[in-house]
Amino acid sequence: MGIEALKYISYPAQVLAKSSKMIPVMLMGTLLYGVKYTFPEYLCTFLVAGGVSSFALLKTSSKTIKKLANPNAPLGYALCFLNLAFDGYTNSTQDLIKSRYPKTNPWDIMLGMNLWGTIYNAVIMFVAPLLFSNWPYANGFEAVRFCQENPEVAWDIFLFCLCGAVGQNFIFLTISRFGSLTNTTITTTRKFMSIVVSSVISGNPLSPKQWGSVVMVFSGLSIQIYLKWKKKKGREHKE
């Protein structure tokens, strides 16, 4: 859904909408599974999400901002928020599986997600186009035809899949050991840091407001790290 949204809104707008992923993760965990988060944890989440969101908005040029007001913008944002809702449900369910079945290892979850994802995508890409002649979404037959016409793309696809497979190991290890909220915090911060580094390398200095966003993000992360350190020290003291 997030990729589909790019048909209707610009990439900066999509980043802006999806940068608050930690919030639905916490909301879904609370509403569906009764996970309890402390007020400081909510505060950290809103600081990080707010900082990334404001930075993305401030970095967007006026030309790009004008594009956000196109007639399809509501549909694009709706797709982004649906994507966030499903992400929140998925991440909260992963936490539940890990707590309910402690012997579940990261690769069990990884296998389950990739297996069902492959089945769903196969249906959407290869079965649906056969059933509906005007199927407007991804068409697997067109993708296969493209690869046949451009065989040199096979190496790029292989590298893309290899990097994705290796990266997933770290993602699911993080989810298994530290929980989905920590993983979401890491991925959101990585996205934020890539924006900052890109701005510095390209020679575009950050404005005072953008530095304010940087402070918001790292304040949230610093508080979160401190809270985890304090909780760990408390457990060690009890033992």
**124 domain-assigned:** no
**End-to-end C-alpha distance for the chain, whole angstroms:** 47
Residues contacting residue 181 through CB under 8 Å, at least 6 positions apart: 22, 25, 26, 29, 37, 41, 45, 91
pLDDT by residue (tens digit) across 79-105?
A: 877 887 787 777 777 777 777 887 878
**39 domain-assigned:** yes
**20 domain-assigned:** yes
**228 domain-assigned:** yes
The pTM is what? Answer: 0.59
pLDDT of residue 119: 94
**42 domain-assigned:** yes
**143 domain-assigned:** no
pLDDT by residue (tens digit) across 36-61?
A: 778 887 888 788 778 777 766 665 55
Q: How many structural domains are present in the chain?
A: 1
Average pLDDT, the chain: 76
Q: Is the pLDDT of residue 32 over 70?
A: yes
Amino acid at 152: E
**116 domain-assigned:** no
Per the structure, the complete domain to which residue 94 belongs is given by 2-104+152-238
Phi (first) and psi of residue 101, to 5 degrees: -125, 80
**115 domain-assigned:** no
What confidence category does residue 62 fall into, taking pLDDT thresholds of 50, 70 and 90?
low
CA distances (Å), origin 191, targets 10, 16, 55, 195, 206 = 17, 11, 11, 6, 16
pLDDT of residue 220: 79
